A and B are shown apart, each in its own frame.
Chain A
Amino acid sequence: MKLRVDKKYMPIVATIAVAVLLYCMIGFIYPKFFSLRVFVNFFRDNAFLGVIAVGMTLVIITGGIDLSVGSMIAFVGVFCAYLMEKTKLNPLLVFVLALSAGSLIGFLMGALIHFFKAPPFIVTLAGMFFCRGVANMISLESIPIYNPTFNAIMRFGIPLRHFIMVPTTVLIFLAVMLVFLYIAHFTRFGRDVYAIGGSPQSALLMGLRIGRTKLLVYTLSGFLSALGGIVYILNVPAGNSLAGVGTELDAIACVVIGGTLLTGGVGYLAGTFVGVLIQAIIKTFLTFSSLSSWWTEIAIGVLIMIFILLQRSFSQLSVLSRAHAQVKLRKPGGAETGGA
């Protein structure tokens, strides 16, 4: 394998290195850590976070932020539980309704951001209170879900070995990841997302449809956080208006650790994937070690700081490399003059 990596991919490589290092170090202390079951659980326990972080990555690449995602989990959870248990609606129909509601809220926030030039931080902060409020309005108490169809979906999974299987939630996460990797890199919409974050003014003058792209990004983030909410109740089968507190910050942390710049324009979904894994590894380590869960927060805080410092030095490196980019201007005669 060649050791030279394009500097564009350096942040991802660094993230992967950290993930592998952490995994191996902890596995050294607790050999059971290397088991397949633990590995599958990384994904099972954090699938909802992963799904949400995908949407968050897109939003952050456009230079925005979405703080409503954590409350959306609570709202969607309570909403689904209520409809399934109190009105006995078909779960699949309920999911469709929940996803539509999430998309609509996302769309409305996007509209406020685009048409009224309101700062995303404020708009989505309002969205955060709104969703949490609606969740509380539907039910203050936790609503357990007993619906049989729902339970069947919950128990479904692809068996790997006896007693170990990949559950629906993980399948959803992986599918979302793949679909959005494709969208980000192989569709015009995906590239427009990057362009808008890189320079909104230029993107406008280049004739890109900024409004449409922004609306779609926030709608998708709304959709994905609603999907994250469904994944959440598929893991913990109850609608609880207190669920998902602080998840927006976890999601932002995954995105940042994955090498995406909060200033927009630069970001990696694959990095976010590894960022989710790193959080999963740290959380699992803490359950193994019986250390207080506050250590998760501390560890993640330290990691974020390290990554931000790393990114600073990468961007400095790229400034230096600018002088070395070669340009050749061929004169009509055929001679070449070099320059920087």
Chain B
Amino acid sequence: MPEADPILSMRRISKSFPGVHALDKVDFALQRGEVRALMGENGAGKSTLIKVMTGVEERDEGRIFLDGREIDPHSPHEAQELGISTVYQEVNLIPTLTVAENIFLGRQPTSMGSLDWKKMNSSAVAALDRLNLELNVKRLLSDYSLAVQQMVAIARAVDVSAKMLILDEPTSSLSVEEVEQLFAVMRMLKAEGLGIVFVTHFLDQVFDISDTITVLRGGQLVGNFVTASTTRVQLIATMMGKELKELERGPARVASPDAPGAESLIEIKGLARKGSIEPFDLRLNKGEVLGLAGLLGAGRTEIANLLFGIDKAEQGNVSIEGEETNISSPRKAIAEGFALCPEDRKSAGIIGDLSIRENIFLALQASKGWFRLISRKTQQEIAERYITMLSISTPDADKKIKELSGGNQQKAIVARWLALHPRFLILDEPTRGIDVGAKMEIQNLILSLSREGISILFISSELSEVVRCSQRVAVLRDHVKIGEMSGDQIDESAIMHYIAEGAR
């Protein structure tokens, strides 16, 4: 590194897991008052680098210096004592404790040797206030949504006055406003001289907040950039190790407007459930991709849950191919040929100790009944097909899924539902935490599935994605469906205006 006196510098860090070189002689440095974006495809080794920095994983070789002194943290506790504060990928808090406790656990304020709950609660309110968030800090963390939990995790990390802050994909479940808020806080901390490591797959965010960029690929350092003098394409090309021109053709937009002869698959009339979604109508044709747009908490996931029978509708009806059907449980939904790829993969998706193969064929086996076992050979074939199709990076299909990187776990979950060959597929944020290349693959997949005649309900916070893949888009705001657009009407700014202003 040319600049002298970095806060943190790591030299020739290596780490391997059985079958993978997660890190291969990686150098890394962080200066005072800089935001360094750490980028790379799924499985590139970003989270592993962070875990080595903070003592969660032991490195195989390499040295770490903090403020010029060599350090060797063996646990997150030691790292924290040294002044390294971290938000790990996936929310890592205690759902059974209150919001305030989650922010202060391990460093609660005390008075005369005993915990001062009053002070803790009021300090928690103050800490959240920095992120412009107002919660009842005495409620259990599990009472709040994933996005809010993520914000609480950030509030916890930011509140410690540390030397450096590490954020591993903190924004993957946040809304635009929440991200803004986070960035405001990051800029403030930066001005105070803190160094920040920021991992994300959102290019916009990288260019918005970071000063420098470090790119990893396949466990190796492939480049350090100054953000201001780097282009997106250059960055993507470095991440993927591909030629620039290959990237320039993304998936083609398919917005063929509602063909007059389209057969409808699902017809929804006045479906509603108190507290989650107001009555709405929705139609979905065969082979159509219907996007759901709206801010976080606007009711998108709620619609998915209603359609899949996880929540029961209180009024309204659903007909499938003209026949009124009562979808009262996910089991019924699956029997009707529905599939749902849920938003929260950690609690509703992966089964960590099972292999990738098992995680993929789980839903397929369940739909066949547990007595007609799928042969090991077929299982293997299915798993391998999807591993190649979605380019899940793993040495083999028998690796435990919890050992995959976050983004690759997400792909495996998508594969689980694709293996069912559903006629109606609900994808709730399928591209969260997935790298640019894989995102394109998933988008392409959505388009090709719809060409095969599968109807898809596509929920995503990334408008550009919704726009690119959907033939029609339904817009939600505050638990109300406020409109629909189709064909050429669909574009990002139109949707944003719609969300902001309601009617046009």
| A→B interface (CB under 8 Å) | 8, 182, 185-188, 191-192, 194-195, 197-199, 201-209, 265-266, 318, 321-332, 337-340
| B→A interface (CB under 8 Å) | 56, 75-77, 79-80, 86, 88, 92-97, 101, 105-106, 108, 110, 114-115, 132-136, 139-140, 142-145, 148, 156, 175, 177-178, 180-181, 184, 275-276, 295-298, 478
Chain B nearest CB: distance from A93 CB in Å? Answer: 30
Contact A185 B115 (CB under 8 A): yes
Chain A nearest CB: distance from B156 CB in Å? Answer: 8
Chain B nearest CB: distance from A92 CB in Å? Answer: 28
> Which of A185, A265, A322, A339 contacts B295 (CB under 8 A)?
A339
C-alpha gap A192/B478 in the complex (Å): 38
Contact A327 B94 (CB under 8 A): no
> Which of B77, B94, B134, B145 contacts A199 (CB under 8 A)?
B94
Chain B nearest CB: distance from A129 CB in Å? Answer: 30
26 residue pairs of the A-B complex, CB under 8 angstroms, read A186-B114, A191-B101, A191-B115, A195-B101, A195-B105, A198-B94, A198-B96, A199-B96, A201-B92, A204-B76, A206-B92, A206-B93, A206-B105, A265-B95, A266-B96, A321-B143, A322-B142, A323-B276, A327-B148, A329-B181, A330-B133, A338-B297, A339-B145, A339-B295, A340-B145, A340-B276
Q: Is the interface of B mostly helix, strand, loop or mixed?
A: loop
Chain A nearest CB: distance from B240 CB in Å? Answer: 30
Chain B nearest CB: distance from A182 CB in Å? Answer: 7
Contact A337 B114 (CB under 8 A): no
Contact B77 A208 (CB under 8 A): yes
**A318-B143 in contact given A187-B114, A339-B298 (Cβ < 8 Å):** yes
**A339-B297 in contact given A202-B94, A325-B144 (Cβ < 8 Å):** yes
- 12 further A-B pairs in the complex, CB-CB below 8 A; given A327-B144, A327-B297: A188-B110, A198-B94, A202-B94, A205-B76, A206-B156, A325-B136, A326-B136, A328-B135, A330-B132, A337-B295, A337-B478, A340-B275
C-alpha gap A208/B101 in the complex (Å): 13
Chain A nearest CB: distance from B38 CB in Å? Answer: 18
C-alpha gap A321/B143 in the complex (Å): 7
C-alpha gap A270/B101 in the complex (Å): 20
Q: Which residue on B lies nearest to A190, using beta carbons?
A: B115
- Chain B residue numbers with a CB within 8 Å of A185 are 115
- Chain B residue numbers with a CB within 8 Å of A327 are 133-135, 144-145, 148, 297
A-B pairs with beta carbons under 8 A, tally = 129
C-alpha gap A339/B177 in the complex (Å): 13
> Which of B80, B140, B181 contacts A318 (CB under 8 A)?
B140
Contact B115 A322 (CB under 8 A): no
C-alpha gap A325/B105 in the complex (Å): 22
- Chain A residue numbers with a CB within 8 Å of B80 are 207
Chain A nearest CB: distance from B308 CB in Å? Answer: 16
Contact A265 B94 (CB under 8 A): yes
Chain B nearest CB: distance from A194 CB in Å? Answer: 6
- Chain B residue numbers with a CB within 8 Å of A209 are 75, 77
C-alpha gap A338/B94 in the complex (Å): 24
C-alpha gap A195/B177 in the complex (Å): 31
C-alpha gap A338/B298 in the complex (Å): 9
Contact A195 B76 (CB under 8 A): no
> Which of B77, B114, B139, B178 contacts A329 (CB under 8 A)?
B178
Q: Which 8 A-B residue pairs are closest in the complex by CB-CB distance?
A: A339-B297, A198-B96, A198-B94, A265-B96, A186-B114, A325-B143, A207-B80, A328-B134
**A8-B140 in contact given A187-B115, A340-B145 (Cβ < 8 Å):** yes
> Which of A186, A322, A332 contacts B143 (CB under 8 A)?
A322
Contact B94 A324 (CB under 8 A): no
